[in-house]
Chains A and B, each alone.
Chain A
Amino acid sequence: MIESVALPAPVQATLLVGVILVQAIALYAGYGVLERVATPLIETITDA
């Protein structure tokens, strides 16, 4: 839970939604980069 008790509940809830949104986008992009890097490596290994 976001523990910023100084902030009103609606602001905390909005922040929470924003954090999850950013996290999901970052994970999607991050794993996408990882996939692009890993796929040629896996193909090289399996073809060897």
Chain B
Amino acid sequence: MEILGLSPALLALFVSFGFMVGVLFGFFGMGGSFLITPTLLLLDYPAPVAIGSGLAFYFGTSVIAVLKHYDVGQVDYKLGAILFVVLSIGIELGSRLVFGLEALGIANLVTGVAYVVLLAGIGALFLRRAANLDDEDADDEDVDDEIPAIGQKIQSYTVPPMISLTSGGRASLWTISGAGGSVGLVSGLIGVGGGFIRMPAIYYLIGTPLTAAVGTSLFAGLFSGAFGTFTYGMSGSVDLTVVSLLLVGSALGARIGSAATTIVEEDDVIVYFGLMMVLASAGIALSELANWLGTGALDLVSVFLLVGSSFAVALMILYQVVKSFDGDDAGVQPAADGGD
């Protein structure tokens, strides 16, 4: 029996996976398409369809995020508009690169390797932050304002034309274009929304305040997600059924995840999120290895690592939410970041 062309098991998998990704999105402020695309790749969807559907899912979650942050978000509309343009160019170049790589027969390999590096890098950053939590607690007032040396150096470049930011600062159009274009290229190449690299890029490289970086990232992401969906939709590389099922789950999960940010202590979860990223990258690496070796056994392990790790973290957040209903003393902490 098939519903919407999918088996009931696969249908339930997409809704529940969307729900779990939504919980993570609501809690960490990230779109979750970085988990959707590799999962679709593991389920043998062609790379363009996996990437196009990942971007479409990201667009849907961005709409929900913008609606949620409409009243409280601080958005630099001018910067967001410029970023939208350069992000779109980057996504277009990235998607063309994917089709070129597919013609060469290495699209899955390149996107898979890119995921491994990206997820492992993010995981390492989170784990490093978790390891330094005690140090941050000692002087946490300065943590969010601490700009890395490379960020300060990039911000110091005043190559004209300079753009005035709503927050009062100024940034070179070249810096904005370079940061936005690079993020867009990665988004188009591997099908991620890019919020988890775009928001830090706006914050660290362009130099807006954190709240403005969050709002502007969401605003730019909304349109770049729509553009990415349109680009892949032109070639019919978006599976609307899959995207719809994922959104049904993620819209509910995002609400619960957002509510959980006031219940669950971020410090308790951040280390698991870092581990989840590292395990997800290991899962993709195993999948690539399975392709090279021509064995299906490693694929099962890779699916377990990828999906299981995200489910485990989401379940932990849900457990904390349920536990809070028992009247336990719960910490009140903001989410890790507000990107998408």
Contacts and interface: CB of A to CB of B under 8 A. Distances in A.
For chain A, what secondary structure do more than half of its interface residues adopt (helix, strand, loop), or is it mixed?
A: helix
A15 B325 CA distance: 43
B193 to A, nearest CB: 13
Q: SS class of chain B's interface: helix, strand, loop or mixed?
A: helix
B238 interface: yes
Contact of A31 (B56, B226, B251): B251
A17 B224 CA distance: 12
Contacts of A13: 229-231, 233-234
A27 interface: yes
A12 B182 CA distance: 28
Nearest to A34: B252
B240 interface: yes
A21 B240 CA distance: 12
Contact of B230 (A17, A27, A35): A17
Interface residues of B, number: 28
B247 interface: yes
Contacts of B301: none
A23 B61 CA distance: 10
Interface string B62-90: 01100110000000000000000000000
Nearest to B239: A1
A46 B68 CA distance: 27
Interface residues on A, range: 20 to 34
A30 B56 CA distance: 20
Given A16-B56, A16-B229, A24 B63 contact: yes
Interface string A5-47: 0000110111011011101110110110001000000100010
Nearest to B327: A46
Interface in B32-58: 56
A25 B255 CA distance: 14
A3 to B, nearest CB: 9
B244 A1 contact: no
Contacts of B240: 1-2, 16, 19-20
